[in-house]
Structure 1
């Protein structure tokens, strides 16, 4: 294959994104973009045989022609001696959800599952796709992160990397390349359906802008690149602020957060929720969240539904709480590791703790019995579990998750916090603690 400008751009982009020359899994739809991408990967393998290439076709079931497209992709890969994989995904249209977004999510999940372990997924989005994405997000009122559009690299939840080596290539260059080398491809006639916003932009708005303003696409791509750089700088600042504000993955220190400017407070919340993989709140939701978290009375009950959990406040800390059931009690507990119904494991150790159980005493682990009383070591008087956990600063929604160790009917340990003073042994005792995941 001739050393064209397009090939040079592709070669530089791929080697820059994949210096270790990991195997590459091409997302192949049969359209001109992905077919040219496959030919470019094939040429790269020819020039550098160390590259391993495979292709994956995902049948979304959204077109009656999908099976013929699959056959076309199969035959193309066979002619190029490239391993071909395929699978079908079912997409159920959900109310208030974009069909395009649902298809995209299903496609990424399927690609990730089918791709060879350790390979990088190679996607065929190009410069015009980038511009369309920018305009769509501009229409939605997106912030800087959204307007930065598609990145040249994306890491999936599984840890696998996706690369887009054609983002600085125009649609015209790809189509010219296909004509020059007589590369066959399929035409998806749904691309001409202007009911879809992306198609309307592609078929009418972008061509008009490019014909009116010379060099419009490269100028727009340069602006998007600058937005991405600015977002990267903000991400660095946010990461530093998160480090000082975050007590744990699901817990923020509100006193530290309050010391930051309003803009940095908002970025910390966004970064915190992003780490928890929670969808970003709207501008209004974020403002309300921060106002209630930082300015409500100390005893005010903060409960904001967010994604698959709830944001709560307790004693100058903000928590992200997922619904969880009270674990089941465990009877006839021994000194062997005890697996709880929520997946945690309790183990026993020797040292400061309680005496060994007597032969006539049954050991059990119970949860949620907040009215049982205990007199902890070094504490004045007896009081309820609820009282002592509140004094220890345990939020109300976490108290039912704390294991309580009983010898028959006597509470002897609140795991992680207190021992009953009448059975306490300062040296030759035993105690229960959670098995660390580290």
Structure 2
């Protein structure tokens, strides 16, 4: 086994993926840092040994070991000393990250440790850097078995990729993914590589350890090649999942609509698809918005309530990170910190802490709103879109979150004005959102309902510059 070649092969595969990206997250031309998640166990130890050799012949990479000190073992400090000593022998830098794993009833220590470990690794990465882990073929088998236990579909069964995104902003490579545990242990013996043994690896109360200690040895005794065949199955699932995602992305715009600042699902259009496509489109829409996709049972319940309930039924479905609401045949997906939050009368009539908003702030950093959103503006000339005129030097700029329903408004897209309450109904804006729309005023007079309209009287002249407002 030639670990230098395996690292080079993974980097070559990454280069090919970058070349195929329309907007790559990093430039393949820039020097980058190659960061190894280094526990000091046999898997990461042989990869660190190989990385030391790789670094000597690849000066365009800065190779770094990162060891995370969880503090869960009495041996944690000794492991730090081991990792620093070994790193010195490989002529590699070794950064130690100290983290705290919070332990509480009904909270998985395994999951918490993994979460803080990856946060620590993320802190080491800049946009152009690459994370490397020592996952191998048996780890892949464990991941597939855990996915089956959890009832996951093709995406979960895809398990781990040799090259894949990490936290959406970075790339992760796994050079040892096609190597068996036996090959890794043989390499360590051949090169007299000293490594640590984490005593928690022998505690079968953890699911992975139960599989590793009790189940996988029996499977391999019966079917010696099961780790390799499971890995091939995972690759096939990944291939099928990529096709599903491509087709889902093509169809999503058919059932999506932008209403103000919300990307909603149009339920009448979603109902025209088969049950299978309804499920895929729901999951795709939620993932696109940054929410965790629902389980099979949750997905069926969500679709049943959204599509089969009476037209005037009040639907509110709450998941771990999202609240789903239905209004006028549209489904809204709202982050839980705001998903079911009703705005109080006090909040509705509040202004920003600074009544006078600086135009410079709007054009640079933006203005933070009580809703958690940020309002910013660009000063541009564009005859194809409605722009807000610049405030006069004498005009005070402010924001409120509600006006009297009888307030007369004249949106730029209407030939006549109408009462604010009627406009919200016309635009089919859900009641729970009406008190959250930033209303921009000049000298107390409404000039724009941000995300919805600009008052006709406040439009910039087509030949002059104006403000394009953005709410994010």
| Aligned equivalents of 2:186, 2:273: Cα separation in 1 | 53
Alignment pair present for 1:122 and 2:132: yes
**1:203 Cα shift?**
1.4
Alignment pair present for 1:417 and 2:453: yes
**1:254 Cα shift?**
2.3
**What TM-score, normalized to structure 2?**
0.80
**What TM-score, normalized to structure 1?**
0.85
- 8 Å Cα contact 1:329/1:367 also seen in 2: yes
- 8 Å Cα contact 1:251/1:320 also seen in 2: yes
Q: How many residues are treated as equivalent by the alignment?
A: 431
- 8 Å Cα contact 2:38/2:66 also seen in 1: yes
Match of 1:225, SS state, is helix
**1:320 Cα shift?**
1.2
| Aligned equivalents of 1:128, 1:187: Cα separation in 2 | 17
| Aligned equivalents of 2:459, 2:60: Cα separation in 1 | 65
**1:124 Cα shift?**
0.4
**1:98 Cα shift?**
2.3
- 8 Å Cα contact 1:149/1:224 also seen in 2: yes
**1:363 Cα shift?**
6.4
Alignment pair present for 1:185 and 2:195: yes
Describe how 1:67-82 pairs up with structure 2 within 5 A.
67-82=77-92
Equivalent residue number for residue 237 of structure 2: 227
Seen in structure 2, the aligned counterparts of structure 1 residues 436 and 379 have a Cα distance that, compared at 3 Å, is closer
Match of 2:61, SS state, is coil
Describe how 1:359-398 pairs up with structure 2 within 5 A.
364-374=398-408, 376=410, 383=419, 385-398=420-433
Seen in structure 2, the aligned counterparts of structure 1 residues 86 and 393 have a Cα distance that, compared at 3 Å, is same
Seen in structure 2, the aligned counterparts of structure 1 residues 407 and 32 have a Cα distance that, compared at 3 Å, is closer
Equivalent residue number for residue 318 of structure 1: 331
**1:176 Cα shift?**
0.3
Gaps of 5+ in 2: 17-27
**1:40 Cα shift?**
1.4
Question: Which of 91, 103, 128 pairs up with 2:113?
Answer: 103
Match of 1:137, SS state, is helix
- 8 Å Cα contact 1:364/1:405 also seen in 2: yes
Q: Deviations over 1:186-235 (max 9, x none)?
A: 11122111222211211121111111123222222212221221112212
Q: Deviations over 1:28-55 (max 9, x none)?
A: 1110000001111122233444333110
Alignment pair present for 1:329 and 2:363: no
- 8 Å Cα contact 1:344/1:434 also seen in 2: no
Alignment pair present for 1:345 and 2:376: yes
The alignment's C-alpha RMSD in Å is 3.5
| Aligned equivalents of 2:397, 2:58: Cα separation in 1 | 66
Equivalent residue number for residue 400 of structure 1: 435
- 8 Å Cα contact 1:278/1:307 also seen in 2: no
Equivalent residue number for residue 42 of structure 1: 52
Seen in structure 2, the aligned counterparts of structure 1 residues 329 and 119 have a Cα distance that, compared at 3 Å, is same
Equivalent residue number for residue 281 of structure 2: 268
| Aligned equivalents of 2:102, 2:286: Cα separation in 1 | 27
| Aligned equivalents of 2:402, 2:106: Cα separation in 1 | 39
Gaps of 5+ in 1: none
